[in-house]
Structures are given as structure tokens and as C-alpha cells.
Amino acid sequence: MSKPVNILLQTTIPYAEDDWHIGRFSLLADHLRSLRDQDGTSLYDVIARDHEPDDSGNDPFLLGLADSDIEEIWLFGVDAGNGFTKTECAAVTKFRQRGGGLFSTRDHNDLGSSLCTLGGVGAAHYFHSINPDPDPDRNQRDDHNPSIDYPNYHSGSNGDYQRITPLVEHELLMRPDGRLIEYFPAHPHEGGIGAPVNDDSARVIATGMSQITGRPFNLIVAFGQKTDSHGNHLGRAIAESSFHHVVDYNWDISTGCPSFLEEPPGHQIEEDASKLDDVKTYVANVARWLAESEP
């Protein structure tokens, strides 16, 4: 009987009730914990936590990740630029350098921009004030919310679905029936991502489409295993355009959201939850794919 894989679900902010704290990712945590092998054994043990800095400003738990028994980290960049410190990002980078798997996601404008200093993966995340999209034509508003600046791709209302476009037949995007995943939860202002040009292990595997401008935008960047210039065997990694693909509110709007989220929700998921199977399949694929990073 194999041992369950240890997964850390981690936000970049300390707990705050009226914010995207880790409790708002409970449906994701529950789904991962529910996954079983053919013998009925749990596949994953999940730790879910918020950022807990000490007097130095660093979270001691994060600084010890490289020497821990954690095998995957799922990072939710929900800060406004003042989340993880460079020291903490270096610790996460060291974790990946020893073969750990890393999932990283953020949202619009500068939300989650503390992830930019993550080794390799940070370069895949484009923000408004730091590491902007190298395509200048992309640095303009997409969603029309006057209080939210670019990048802010409008894939649909919270509570609705978006149809995604797989660019390759990647195992992250495969359903059990052999077909490709079609639907993700939508969000009015997703962030910007791209494959770093100096990393041949990275590629965009799926795109979304703006419901306002009709522009395609990158949805998922997958990083394969590779050996870096220092001889480190890097684990697999993923960069995603928005944490709203996996947050409770975008799987079930009745769970609620922080008060600063102003847009009225849609009701497609409420009326037909069956298409959520696609993102739940994707989550299971991510967990399995990242676990294979471990040497």
C-alpha cells in the first residue's frame, strides 16, 4: 500500500475574515482528500494554511519546506504585492530544486505579485506594476470595471462557466473517457501569464477567451521536469491565470465571497453543476502530475 502524497495548500496572506483566506479553498481541499486509489486508500494528505509570519516577517513553516515531507505546494497569490517575502520565495524555490511539485496561481492587476520572485515560475506571472507582459499590446484593460486595471481578462461572471481551448493533448487536460477538458469556472478579471522565453520546459497548454473583447488569453502554463544550470533537478510546476478556478465561491456561489467583490454572480454552475466535473478532473490530474516530480 503506497503512502499518501503530502500536499500543502498555502495562501500568501495572514488570515483575514473578509479576504481570500485558506478557508475559502475548502472545497478544493475536500476534493483532494476524497480522492482514492483502486483499493480505496487516500491518495493525498492535505495541509491547508494561511501565511503566518513571525517578528522577522518570515513564516518559519515556509522556510523549512525544502527539508520537510511536503511533496507538492499549491500557492494562492491573494496578496496585493506585500505577501511572501523574497526569503520565503527563495525557500519555495529551494523546495522545487529538490524535486517538489509547485502549483502557483494569482489574479488580476497586482494581486499575487509577491510570487514574482519564485525561481523560474515567477517569470510566468505578468502583473501591472511588476514583470508586465512582454507583449505591449497586452498591457491594456480587458474588463471594464473602472477600479481594476490590467491584466484583467473577462472570461465570464463568477458562478458561470468558461469554455477553454486546450492547445495540446496534455495529460493535465485529459478526462477519464479520453476526451479533453472543456470547462473551467469563469471570472470577470483573470490575470496574465506566459511561458518564459528562456525556459524550454515551459509551454502554454490552454487558453481562455475574453467575453468582452474576444481576445484569447493564456490560462495554464505547464513546466516539465528539468535540470537547471546548477545541477538541480527541478520538479514540475504550473502557473495559472486565476485562483478563482479553484476557490469555493466559483464552485458554489452560496459559500460567499469577500465584501470587496462587487460584480453580481452568474448562475450557470448553480443550475447545472455537472460541468464542474471538468475542473475537478483537472485538479486530480494536477495532484497526480505534480506528485510525479518527486525523484
Instruction: Encode burial over 219-243: b for 16+ CB neighbours within 10 A, e otherwise.
Output: bbbbbeeeeeeeebebbbbbbbbbb
* 30 Cβ contact partners less than 8 Å away, ≥ 6 residues apart: none
Residue 94: phi, psi to the nearest 5? -65, -35
pLDDT of residue 2: 80
pLDDT of residue 293: 64
What is the distance between the alpha carbons of residues 220 and 279, in angstroms, rounded to a whole number? 13
pLDDT of residue 144: 86
Question: Which residues span the domain enclosing 148?
Answer: 5-291
Closest to 128 in 3D by CA, of 148, 103, 102, 156: 148
CATH number for 193:
3.40.50.880
What total number of domains does the chain contain? 1
Give the start-end residues of each E strand in 136-230. Answer: 161-163, 165-166, 183-185, 192-193, 202-209, 216-223, 226-227
Per-residue pLDDT tens, the chain, 295 aa: give them: 489 999 999 999 999 999 999 999 999 999 999 999 999 999 999 999 999 999 999 999 999 999 999 999 999 999 999 999 999 999 999 999 999 999 999 999 999 999 999 999 999 999 999 999 999 999 999 998 899 999 999 999 999 999 999 999 999 999 999 999 999 999 999 999 999 999 999 999 999 999 999 999 999 999 999 998 899 999 999 999 999 999 999 999 999 999 999 899 999 999 999 999 999 999 999 999 999 865 5
pLDDT of residue 1: 46
Tell the residue number behind the cell numbers 511533496, with chain if given: 71
What is the distance between the alpha carbons of residues 168 and 176, in angstroms, rounded to a whole number? 17
pLDDT of residue 245: 98
CA atoms within 13 A on the CB side of 189: 23
What is the distance between the alpha carbons of residues 277 and 71, in angstroms, rounded to a whole number? 25
pTM beyond 0.85, yes or no = yes
pLDDT of residue 294: 52
C-alpha cell belonging to residue 19? 479576504
What is the distance between the alpha carbons of residues 288 and 285, in angstroms, rounded to a whole number? 5
Closest to 236 in 3D by CA, of 295, 195, 293, 284: 293
Closest to 109 in 3D by CA, of 146, 84, 74: 146
pLDDT of residue 149: 96
Q: Is 67 exposed, middle or buried (0-12, 13-18, 19+ CB in 10 A)?
A: exposed
pLDDT of residue 94: 97
> What amino acid occupies position 246?
V
What is the distance between the alpha carbons of residues 3 and 140, in angstroms, rounded to a whole number? 47
